[in-house]
Structure 1
Amino acid sequence: MNEIAVFLDERNEISSFIESKCVKIFEKKEDLWKAKKEVSVEISIDGKGVREIREEYLNLIKQMEECKIVIVNKAFGIPYSVFYAEDFSVWELEGNPLNFLDEIIIKEKEEEEREENQEEIAKELGEGHFYIDLMELELSKPELSSKKVIIPFLEKDEVKKIEIHCCHVPPWIIKEKDKGKITLKVEEIKRNEYNVTIEKYN
């Protein structure tokens, strides 16, 4: 994660996917950002169908090699959907790109670490459906409270249902249910062992 591609206009300032004249790929070596590669952008969307436009941007992506982070000043339309589908991280910024490169790498690494931590905490059972074993986490990550574990998932729009394996039902979850924010189903497996299912209201 040491390369960032920037869509630039004729003044070497950040531009949009459509209005840019070139893509400059910056690489960090020995604490300095240097332009590794420059790719001319000669894509016109006038009179072209969606498939043709997509193909042109996919060809551009091939020239960007291993780089998976891009900066534009406006991210929208077909080009944005192409880059999103190809698993790029897209940043919207304005001005001189060199002012932002270090900060972007820091934020990207933080996000990567956060996602890795969430993968350790929860298993995805299906789309929007997660499983969290609080009893196991009490042993492996005792510093994490049930709130610290579960709240970040409840705050995600894409998360609809969470199944929790626990030794008791956390009181704050019951309060959330009483506030009408979630539905709660509690199944007692045996003494001091429960399966709790939380579902968010749409």
Structure 2
Amino acid sequence: MKIATYVDEEGTLSSLYEPGHVRVYDNAAGAWEARKKIPFEVGPDMTLSEVKSALGDVVDRLEDCRVLVSGEVRGLVYSLLQEEMGFHIWKAQGPDREQLDIVAGREADLIARREQAAVEEASAANCAQGCCGKKGGGGRSPCGPAAAPSLERVGNGHYRIDLAQVLESDPNLNSRQVLIPVMQETEFETLEILCDHVPRWFSRALVEMNMRAEFDASAQGLKVLVSPNHQT
């Protein structure tokens, strides 16, 4: 197995937004050995295309490694790695070597049970709320919000979800897996989504589900307010 880490000059796990480099470890011989050291740097003045180019250079040198351990997991760079480049990203602190066996174990466990666990947990949650079936005529589940623990109810018909926090809690999820079920199965007047950036699939999904969105960017991140286009 190969695991990449992002560390500072002391070998301590760090954020991709801080000075440092990527290390690539391989335990094919039965023990973790550092195989590569890859420089990486992003700055606040870089354009999106420049950030993607810098990431692309690193990804090319990582070859088939798609597991990254870092001191942080939130921000545009991490979203690009997860959603567009297929990485699993784990947050940890301290010397990177101390985390390799831990992350390898978590990866193996998650890969083995991800699909089955997702189906079983969703089914159990829905049935516990009396939501094992859909409304007549193919409508939405009557218990959509209750069956989605990541949703926060902020008023009658108004909900909020912190997408960045959900993705941080489970590296195997991506934005589409989180948001599509919520948007399809929850009856809402407004759905407030807190995120780092707008997923590339989002605009098309809005059209397909007959919804609209308003966007409010700030230093803390992006707030997207989704609401259905009511037919008159």
Q: Normalising to structure 2: TM-score of the pair?
A: 0.54
How far does residue 73 in structure 1 lie from its aligned partner after superposition?
Answer: 0.4
**Residues of 2 paired with 1:63 and 1:82: CA distance?**
17
How far does residue 184 in structure 1 lie from its aligned partner after superposition?
Answer: 3.9
CA contact (8 A) 1:183 1:200 kept: no
Alignment match, 2:164: none
CA contact (8 A) 1:183 1:201 kept: no
How far does residue 3 in structure 1 lie from its aligned partner after superposition?
Answer: 0.5
CA RMSD of aligned residues (A): 2.7
**Residues of 2 paired with 1:176 and 1:96: CA distance?**
44
**Residues of 2 paired with 1:51 and 1:200: CA distance?**
42
**Match among 129, 144, 155 for residue 201 of structure 1:** 144
Which one-letter code corresponds to 1:79 in the other structure?
V
How far does residue 31 in structure 1 lie from its aligned partner after superposition?
Answer: 2.2
Structure 2's unaligned 5+ residue stretches are: 146-232
**Match among 68, 71, 96 for residue 70 of structure 1:** 68
Alignment match, 1:89: 88
CA change 1:199–1:106 in 2 (3 A) is farther
**Match among 129, 141, 153 for residue 122 of structure 2:** 153
**Residues of 2 paired with 1:8 and 1:185: CA distance?**
48
Larger radius of gyration: 1
**Residues of 2 paired with 1:89 and 1:24: CA distance?**
16
How far does residue 185 in structure 1 lie from its aligned partner after superposition?
Answer: 4.9
**Residues of 2 paired with 1:154 and 1:183: CA distance?**
7
Structure 1's unaligned 5+ residue stretches are: 123-148, 157-161, 163-172, 188-196
Q: Normalising to structure 1: TM-score of the pair?
A: 0.61
How many pairs align? 141
CA contact (8 A) 1:25 1:35 kept: yes
Structure (1 or 2) with the greater strand fraction: 1
**Residues of 2 paired with 1:91 and 1:61: CA distance?**
17
How far does residue 155 in structure 1 lie from its aligned partner after superposition?
Answer: 6.8
CA change 1:185–1:116 in 2 (3 A) is closer
**Residues of 1 paired with 2:143 and 2:123: CA distance?**
8
**1:50-69 map, 5 Å:** 50-69=48-67
Which one-letter code corresponds to 2:129 in the other structure?
E
How far does residue 115 in structure 1 lie from its aligned partner after superposition?
Answer: 2.3
**1:20-169 map, 5 Å:** 20-41=19-40, 43-85=41-83, 86-117=85-116, 149=120, 152-154=121-123
How far does residue 15 in structure 1 lie from its aligned partner after superposition?
Answer: 0.9
CA contact (8 A) 1:183 1:199 kept: no
How far does residue 10 in structure 1 lie from its aligned partner after superposition?
Answer: 1.1
Alignment match, 2:129: 176
**Residues of 1 paired with 2:123 and 2:62: CA distance?**
37
Which one-letter code corresponds to 1:200 in the other structure?
C
**Residues of 1 paired with 2:23 and 2:94: CA distance?**
14
How far does residue 83 in structure 1 lie from its aligned partner after superposition?
Answer: 0.8
